Amino acid sequence: MRKKGRISMSILTMTDKRKRVNRPLFRVAGLVILALMFVAVCLPGPVLAVSVFDVVKEVARANSHIEEGFNMDTLEFPITGGSMISSFVGGDLNTGERWAYVWFSVDEPAGNASMARLMENLEASLDEDVNMKAIAMDGYEIRELTHDDYRWELPNDDVEVWIILARHVIQVDISDTGYDKTANLQMGRNLALQLKASLEKAGLTSPTGASAAPTGAAPAAETPPAVAAGTGTALDEPVKVSDTMNIAGVYNGATVPTTFSVSSPHLVTYISTYHWNNARGTPGGTIALQGSDGKVYGPWAVTTRPGQGGVPNAYWVVEPNIVVPAGTYTVIDSDPGTWSQNSQSGGK
């Protein structure tokens, strides 16, 4: 029998869900009748389908200040074999810099155009000073684009992050934030993964679609491949695997990796990290686990909830429901710069 584990941290928490309890038959029947009544009352007409543009706009609104009808549209452009459809929304970023801006876009081939032709078109539009890093993930590919610095050693910290799916390319373009390249890339990854998760939730893309074939950029050698994991059934009582939760004041940036070890296979159903971030919170990103053998489980897009004092997006939560084998694991948070820590947690 597999055990299931709970990790709880400040920081970071991992727990298991309790097994559901069967309800009496008469309560089930009552709920069915109530549900049918609810459907009859609340569905007077057809529901409009959600489009790619709707999802892009929703994610942009949640993470930036957008102006209705300005810098947003869905356009179709001719490419070899057909056309490409681009849905995009731009918004102001609240970084303290006047011109901080972000573009969210999703491109897809139309007609007889292939993904290869779409990628050729996107790559042909890049500036000559672009540096591209490709990272192979589980079922998709991430590309991180940076630029050479300006003359006289002036930094150019504008970045783009692409996620290449089976039939879509997600792009997040960040500029003039006042942050360095590393921070901007982290923000770009978080936002792109949010957009990916929202498209999947809306049923507009496949959650495990095959990655588009790379076109010249080599995958980053330092990034281990993600692996598939088994599922299991939760036991009645959760078992806490690790816990660094405390009520003391926190600071940004964990200084020590958060690791845990299990001596037998465990079912992981809940992981949470804390991002108080000087009472500002942080837009949700992803959480993953990396085994000591280099294998990566995830990453999983998080949901968020308020923290102490109502700080938005302070708690990041994922519910993987996967079985990991015996071993030592490191928790990988997509925004380590705002991951909370203090001396009581040992810097993690």
Q: Scan for tokens 């959760």, then name that residue.
A: 238
Helix (H, G, I), strand (E, B) or coil at 45: coil
Residue partners of 11: CB distance under 8 A and separation at least 6: 244, 245, 246, 250, 254, 258, 273, 274, 339, 340, 341, 345, 348
Mind listing the pLDDT tens digit for each residue in 324-337? 888 888 888 888 88
d(CA 74, CA 79) in angstroms, rounded, equals 16
Residue type, 238: P
Residue 170 pLDDT more than 90?
yes
Mind listing the pLDDT tens digit for each residue in 173-219? 999 988 888 888 888 988 998 899 889 888 888 654 433 434 433 33
**Which residue, 227, 222, 221, 224, is CA-closest to 294?**
224
Torsion of CA 52, 57, 60, 66, to 10 degrees: 150
**Which residue, 12, 4, 23, is CA-closest to 289?**
12
User: Do the beta carbons of residue 175 and residue 101 sit within 8 Å?
Assistant: yes
Mean pLDDT of the chain: 76
β-pairing verdict for 266-268 and 3-4: parallel
Bridge partners of 289? 297, 331
Q: Scan for tokens 């694991």, then name that residue.
A: 329
Mind listing the pLDDT tens digit for each residue in 37-62? 444 444 444 444 579 999 999 999 98
Residue 108 pLDDT more than 80?
yes
Torsion of CA 322, 328, 332, 337, to 10 degrees: 150
Mind listing the pLDDT tens digit for each residue in 50-93? 799 999 999 999 889 999 999 999 999 999 999 999 999 999 99
My answer on whether omega of the bond before 225 falls inside 30° of 0, hence cis, is no
Residues in the chain, overall count: 348
d(CA 338, CA 348) in angstroms, rounded, equals 12
Domain ranges of the chain: 3-19+233-345, 52-201
Burial of 231 (0-12, 13-18, 19+ CB in 10 A): exposed
Residue 278 pLDDT more than 50?
yes
Q: Report residue 167: phi and psi, to 5°.
A: -135, 15
Burial of 85 (0-12, 13-18, 19+ CB in 10 A): buried
Task: Give CA 289 to chain center in angstroms.
Answer: 14
User: pTM score, two decimals?
Assistant: 0.52
